[in-house]
Amino acid sequence: MTVDVGGLQAPPAGAVAQAVTAFGLLASRSRLHIMWALSQGESDVTGLAGRVDMALPAVSQHLAKLKLAGLVAARPEGRRQVYYVDDPDIAATIGAMVALLAARAEQRPLQPLPPLEFTLGRPDHKSA
């Protein structure tokens, strides 16, 4: 259920909490790299460690956190577990963001974004 706040639709609190968890996990360079690699194709831990150039135990720990958060899933294949991004929308979002930023980086170095001005409540009230 969305809530109308000042004429704008606010997302449900549960959706915001899920987004905070997901973005918090993806704020790690290692976990984002793992998610990007898995958005390109499924892999077992050994193959994934090679793809992201990380130690096997570190990849396993990151995968455990991502799995607990529901960002990745695994299926057995023989004696190994094959990991994949379970939500195609998450995979597409990560892939698109990384591709966009990579393309921009080739054109020009990324610059810090200017500070945003937010309106709070009334259209004529700006934050300092």
Query: What pLDDT sits at residue 125?
Result: 43
* Confidence category of residue 124, pLDDT binned at 50, 70, 90: very low
Q: What is the mean pLDDT of the chain?
A: 83
Q: What angle do CA 21, 24, 30 make, to 5 degrees?
A: 125
Query: What pLDDT sits at residue 97?
Result: 87
Query: What 3-state DSSP class applies to 73?
Result: strand
DSSP state of 119: B
pLDDT digits (tens, 9 = 90+) for 26-60: 889 999 999 999 998 999 999 999 999 999 999 99
Separation CA 17–CA 14 (nearest Å): 5
Q: What is the rounded (10 degree) CA torsion for 8, 19, 127, 117?
A: -80
Query: What pLDDT sits at residue 83?
Result: 97
For residue 32, the Cα-to-chain-centroid distance in whole angstroms is 6
Q: Sort residue 55 into left (φ over 0), alpha (ψ -120 to 50) or beta.
A: beta
pLDDT digits (tens, 9 = 90+) for 54-87: 999 999 999 999 999 889 999 999 999 999 998 8
Query: What pLDDT sits at residue 114?
Result: 66
